Amino acid sequence: MSGVGRVSFGVEDVMALRSQVLARSAALRDVRAASEGARAFAPSQAPGAGFADTLTNALRQVSAVQAQSSAMQVAYERGQVTDIAQVMLARQEAGVAFEATLQVRNKLLNAYQDIMRMGG
């Protein structure tokens, strides 16, 4: 038999392939976690739900994210959680949720003021 159709793998090749598989698996986990996080902020009410109900639900979700962040920070301070990356990610998530809520409030306030100016 000739060596043309023969493939040989060394330990380095197997280890390189293993690291690629692990990297892709970690990337897929990150994408899955991000999509699950996005679903947490998606509106979960029926299409005919009122504006006030939708706004209340969104505020409750932001409050829950902030409470989870606070709980993780307290758990880290007590030594119950050792992964600082999780704690910082939870803090960032709570900060982004709060900033988004603040921007929505500002837009609503501007729209209200514009409507009040039109009536006069």
d(CA 103, CA 110): 11
Distance CA 68, CA 4 (A): 60
Helix, strand, or coil here: 48? coil
Low-confidence stretches of the chain (pLDDT beneath 70): 1-9, 28, 31, 34-49, 120
What are the sequence ranges of the domains in the chain?
7-38, 51-120
Give the pLDDT of residue 38. 57
At residue 41, the pLDDT reads 55
* DSSP string for 3-26: SSS-----HHHHHHHHHHHHHHHH
Locus of tokens 């994210």: 65
pLDDT of the residue at 33? 72
pTM score > 0.85 for this model?
Answer: no
